[in-house]
Amino acid sequence: MTRRMVFMLAIVAVILAGFIGWKLFMGMMIQKYMASMTGHPETVSATTVARSQWSPTLKAVGSLRAVRGTDIAPQLAGIVADVPFKSGEDVKAGDVLLQLVDDDDVANLNALKASAELARLTYERNKELVRTHAVSQASLDNAIATYRSALAQVAAQQALVEKKRITAPFAGRVGIRLVDVGQYLSPGTKVTTLQSLDPIYIDFSLPQQAVHLVKPGQKVTMTTDAFPGETFTGEISALDPKLDAQTRNVSVRAELSNPDRKLLPGMFGSVTIVTGGDQDVLTLPQTAITYNPYGQSIYIVKKGEAGADGKPTLVVEQSFVTTGETRGDQIEILKGIKEGDEVVTAGQIKLRNGSHVVIDNSVKLPNDAAPIVQDK
């Protein structure tokens, strides 16, 4: 019994010795790793914090629409006699866009004009005869009524003839022709679209807290991915007097200059509204910011102790910052740094507080407040 107890105690001692030895080994390895981390600086890129001039702006996405636009369609049924326009061309106000067959209507118009002329002659004759009492006043009144009725019938038939001849209600650009000569059209059948393209509207929405910042006449700029690198200018023309009850947004309309008629109704664009004068702000490239659940942070480069060569080493110090508005590749820093600080812009993932670093800025990182998209 005593021998068995001694054997079990020996086994326990061996296990404890092995566990203690493993813990000591892991501690030595961690110390060696940390020493190697300290001894081998990490390569990073960095930039100096500088001030920039930013104007306060509002941004929104809107849809373009023509100042005047409509679908051309006949009011009456009929057979197409002529479609004198070409798809996609510019037309003037009053240019004929569609002619329906109107031979019968014109013939009826001529007959009614003849009847109206006869009624006029009868009226003029009775007007002279009533002075000599050759006809009664009642006959003259009847002649007047007949003449006026004939004129009304001529006007009605004339309107019918004109409805079969559709003209452009305003100057603009026609779309693709959708009908052909000889085709029977029902009332309301779309023939083409007509859009006035210069100037052109862009409609967008802004939240209610921005209502006091915008007003008619304010300058706006717009960009669209349809024309990369180009900026279109205009001004706010109207604000809706009522907010949307669901979104609490106000509808805004701006008028843009479009002399080359590049912008087309239905496109979307990004609108920028300048709401005040230039402001002096501290900015950094967005790549400098490390985002964490507990806040945004950066690594500031500072001089450390002198190395073997006698030159001071570079170490990083983590600092939490408060960020503001972003523009392009840049972000505004409201709190946490000062002008002239050197901040790491790439390589933060391998850093910790107190890490030694070497700066290499051979690779140019994006840092433009208004970057231009370039086609490859």
239 and 299 in a common domain: no
220 and 265 in a common domain: yes
Q: Whole-model pTM?
A: 0.61
Task: Render pLDDT for 130-168 as a digit per residue (tens, 0 to 9).
Answer: 777 777 777 777 878 888 888 898 899 888 888 889 999
Q: Band of the pLDDT at 309, cuts 50, 70, 90?
A: low
**Which has more confidence, 365 or 331?**
331
Q: Determine the average pLDDT of the residues in 123-127.
A: 77
286 and 355 in a common domain: yes
Q: Supply the CATH number for residue 321's domain.
A: 2.40.420.20
Residue 31 is predicted with a pLDDT of: 58
pLDDT at 369 over 60: no
> Cα separation of 62 and 82, whole Å?
39
Residue 331 lies in a domain: yes
Q: Determine the average pLDDT of the residues in 28-39.
A: 57
Residue 84 lies in a domain: no
Residue 330 lies in a domain: yes
CB-count burial class (<10 Å; 0-12, 13-18, 19+) for 84: exposed
303 and 344 in a common domain: yes
Question: Cβ of 71: how many Cβ atoms within 10 Å?
Answer: 14
User: For residue 213, which phi and psi values (nearest 5 degrees)?
Assistant: -95, -10
Q: Supply the CATH number for residue 132's domain.
A: 1.10.287.470
Residue 376 is predicted with a pLDDT of: 42
Residue 315 is predicted with a pLDDT of: 85
270 and 298 in a common domain: no
Residue 341 is predicted with a pLDDT of: 85
pLDDT at 212 over 70: yes
Residue 27 lies in a domain: no
Print the domain residue range for 261: 59-66+197-274
> Cα separation of 268 and 270, whole Å?
7
294 and 229 in a common domain: no
349 and 293 in a common domain: yes
pLDDT at 343 over 50: yes
Q: Band of the pLDDT at 375, cuts 50, 70, 90?
A: very low
Residue 186 lies in a domain: no
User: For residue 210, which phi and psi values (nearest 5 degrees)?
Assistant: -100, 0
What separation in angstroms does the CA of 156 have from each of 162, 239, 342? 10, 43, 84
Task: Render pLDDT for 256-285 as a digit per residue (tens, 0 to 9).
Answer: 998 888 899 999 999 988 877 667 778 888
**What is the rounded (10 degree) CA torsion for 280, 281, 282, 284?**
-120
> Cα separation of 210 and 239, whole Å?
12
Q: Determine the average pLDDT of the residues in 312-318.
A: 82
Q: Band of the pLDDT at 298, cuts 50, 70, 90?
A: confident
Residue 89 lies in a domain: no
Number of domains the chain contains: 3
Residue 140 lies in a domain: yes
Residue 344 is predicted with a pLDDT of: 87
- For the chain, give the percent of residues with pLDDT over 70: 90
292 and 267 in a common domain: no
Task: Render pLDDT for 188-207 as a digit per residue (tens, 0 to 9).
Answer: 899 999 999 989 999 999 99
340 and 293 in a common domain: yes
289 and 270 in a common domain: no
Residue 131 lies in a domain: yes
Last residue of a domain, one of 118, 147, 163: 163
pLDDT at 308 over 70: no
Q: Supply the CATH number for residue 235's domain.
A: 2.40.30.170
